[in-house]
Amino acid sequence: MQHDTLIFKPSDEFRRQANLSGLENYQALWENADNNYLQYWSDLARELITWKKPFMQIFDDSNPPFYKWFADGTLNVSYNCLDRHLPDKGDKIALTFESDFGQVSQFTYAQLHNRVCRFANALRELGIQKGDRVIIYLPMIVEAIIAMQACARIGAIHSVVFGGFSAGALRDRIEDAQAKIVITANAGLRGGKIIPLKETVDEALELGCKSVENVIVYHRVNIDTPWKKGRDLWWNELSKHQPAFCEPEWMNAEDPLFILYTSGSTGKPKGVVHSTAGYLLGAMNSFYTVFDHKADDIYWCTADVGWITGHSYICYGPLANGASQIIYEGVPSYPDAGRIWRMIQRHKVSVFYTSPTLIRSLTRLGDHIPKKYDLSSLRLLGSVGEPINPAAWLWFYEIVGGGRCPIVDTWWQTETGSLMLSPVPGINAMKPGSCTLPLPGIMADVVDEQGNKCETEEAGALVIKRPFPSMLRNVWGDPERYKSNYFPQEYGGGKYYVAGDSAHRDKDGYFWILGRLDDVLNVSGHRLGTAEIESALVAHEQVVEAAVVGKPDEIKGEAVVAFVVLKGIRPDGEEAKQFAEELKLWVANEIGKIARPDDIRFAENLPKTRSGKIMRRLLRSIAKNEMITQDISTLENPQIIGQLQQQVI
Ligand code: PRX
């Protein structure tokens, strides 16, 4: 594999002010982390976290792969994010919220602490206790962060469900977590439109969810809100009379902090369980080093709290570091294509963390739009969620960053909890498209099926060879799946954390992510299981069989292509078009708009091997309009190839 050897070094100016700088120091740090692994992590845990009871045990691997870190220590995450800043940063702005229609409100650390405490007291009054599960289904408003922090304060395990997920997807998550409470808003605002949420919660609860006792509703929009007396409660009514202090629940380091559902290769999303101390340490430490955090930074991450990026790099990492950040409710293109740049100018954003999809969609609109705005406050840029193609990287670097801001291309996952591979911006030279090197204390490598290190430029599985503090602890209710999915026998005999991505390293040891090894798609940086979309399709009464694959997309990275077999005669022409639209809408209603197929093709049959397995590689080639090189001699009905190639326009 050949790469253009474009290399960008951080400027001397950036290097001089960076939290970590000097390649030699860094190499020494890296080697120290490698040679004194447990010491490295325990020193950081003692230095960065405020403990109620300090830990004595660093690491417990007596029951692999159920590892424990700092297990006899106690702490509270909300205390670490809020209370400990109050003596000297109580008046510092923690959150600047910009609404969809451009209204701005700000919250200091003291004000945020007050809101979190009052809401936490309200939850306690409703009987929520340590270990109870709470679903958060909110738009990107400050209350989403307040709700997460309030759960952390009383030891309730939150599970945030992205506001774009449908009632069915919400129900599945509520039921799997057996949640006692759902926190929602009557609606959200996006792109000038009202997006109802309470109705979706009602619909989900009608589908089951016997564990739910109450629904707390934040009044976001002046609309009529459907109401179930006795079950539904207004957020403001509940919290306005509550005391302004809430005693934190002192948690054991290994108690779960949250569950976050993510797609895997089977139909059912997995509830990734994160711990209290190890997770906090990962989010805090990486925010400081990779985002080079400074007290006067204005940081903005465009993710939604429904995804892991919104957990680690909005709710927990920045607050634990006492940072000031921007929270944005709306979409990048509303009311016009200058929104993002205008917000950077307006709030003097210095560190901007976003996704390649957003960069690509804004690149397309032309350089003249960002050039109209003063972006000189920016000093550091970041990218996450999917591979960033060199053209998008260069545009981000030159046009947005004015050639002076390093870009941290951060590779990580819901399961890793915090950044794993990324430049440290005052140190590493950057290569567009590569997430460069593992952070200190992260033993990442690329290995073959036997677990042997791959040669330079040889593709293999991306693994992490030693357990690290912010690693997931389990799959909620399914320890077997945790074991077999992340510590499989392939690629290292069950010893290594297997990320599910393929990668290779270049001659400088830099990592290049090639894509997923499993049937997981990455659409606009969102993880979607092909099996999840297939089961949504076959739930339609007319669908007999469906197979879903990805194909490259210029903006979204990957697009969803569905091959569908219907009952009766294969539709054609206008009929096929109408049916394709119906099925797209069906999937959007079953899962959420993010899963809506871009392309649906109808065939009388799907191509299968002799043992009856769908030939996905063949389908991927067909979706990409590639020449077919696979052996198709075993196909019962070769003329279906022609049908599968036919796009419904
Ligand atoms: O395939 C990798 C891709 O996103 C997957 C993780 O998705 P998720 O758990 O939803 O978390 C996304 C945000 C951390 C990975 O397995 N991915 C993530 N970051 C990058 C990436 N691919 C290439 N480059 C990245 N920087």
Choose among 143, 79, 87, 80: nearest CA to 115.
143
CA 91 / ligand 1 centre spacing (Å): 36
Q: What is the pLDDT of residues 341-350, one digit of tens each?
A: 999 999 999 9
Choose among 408, 480, 393, 402: nearest CA to 439.
408
Measured CA to CA, the distance from residue 234 to residue 607 in angstroms comes to: 53
Amino acid letter for position 445: D
Kindly report the protein residue whose alpha carbon is nearest to atom 18 of ligand 1. Answer: 385
pLDDT at 3: 55
Query: Could you say which residues of the chain have pLDDT below 50?
Result: 1-2
Measured CA to CA, the distance from residue 156 to residue 278 in angstroms comes to: 17
Contact 109, 92 (CB under 8 A): yes
Which residues are paired to 93 by β-bridges?
108
Q: Where are the domains of the chain?
A: 12-446, 524-645
Q: Where are the beta strands (DSSP E) in 17-170?
A: 59-60, 68-69, 74-75, 93-98, 104-108, 133-137, 157-160
CA 309 / ligand 1 centre spacing (Å): 10
Ligand 1 site, CB within 6 A: 262, 308-309, 384-387, 409-414, 435, 499-501, 513, 516, 522, 527
| Atom from ligand 1 closest to the CA of residue 412 | 14
Q: The sheet that has 599-602: what strands, in order across it?
A: 543-553, 557-566, 599-602
Count CA within 13 A, CB hemisphere, residue 144.
29
CA 385 / ligand 1 centre spacing (Å): 4
pLDDT at 4: 57
Q: For the domain 12-446, what is the CATH code?
A: 3.40.50.12780
Residues annotated within a binding site for Mg(2+): 538, 540, 543
CA 384 / ligand 1 centre spacing (Å): 7
Return mean pLDDT, the chain: 95
Measured CA to CA, the distance from residue 184 to residue 106 in angstroms comes to: 21
Q: What is the pLDDT of residues 608-631, one digit of tens each?
A: 877 778 888 899 999 998 888 877
Kindly report the protein residue whose alpha carbon is nearest to atom 26 of ligand 1. Answer: 411
3-class SS letters over 465-500: CCCCCCCCCEECCCHHHHHHHHCCCCCCCCCCEEEE
Choose among 158, 116, 118: nearest CA to 138.
158
**Residues in Cβ contact with 189 at an 8 Å cutoff, skipping those fewer than 6 apart:** 99, 100, 101, 139, 195, 220, 221, 329, 330
Q: Is the ipTM of this complex over 0.90?
A: yes
Mutate to test the pocket of ligand 1, among 162, 411, 421, 512 (most ligand atoms within 8 A of CB): 411
Multiple choice CATH, 524-645, 3.40.718.10, 3.40.50.720, 3.20.20.120, 3.30.300.30: 3.30.300.30
Kindly report the protein residue whose alpha carbon is nearest to atom 23 of ligand 1. Answer: 387
Kindly report the protein residue whose alpha carbon is nearest to atom 25 of ligand 1. Answer: 411
CA 518 / ligand 1 centre spacing (Å): 13
Measured CA to CA, the distance from residue 79 to residue 153 in angstroms comes to: 7
pLDDT at 291: 98
CB atoms within 10 A of CB 640: 19
Angle at 486 between CA 481 and CA 491, to 5 degrees: 130
**Residues in Cβ contact with 622 at an 8 Å cutoff, skipping those fewer than 6 apart:** 563, 628, 641, 644, 645
Measured CA to CA, the distance from residue 3 to residue 508 in angstroms comes to: 12
CA 105 / ligand 1 centre spacing (Å): 32
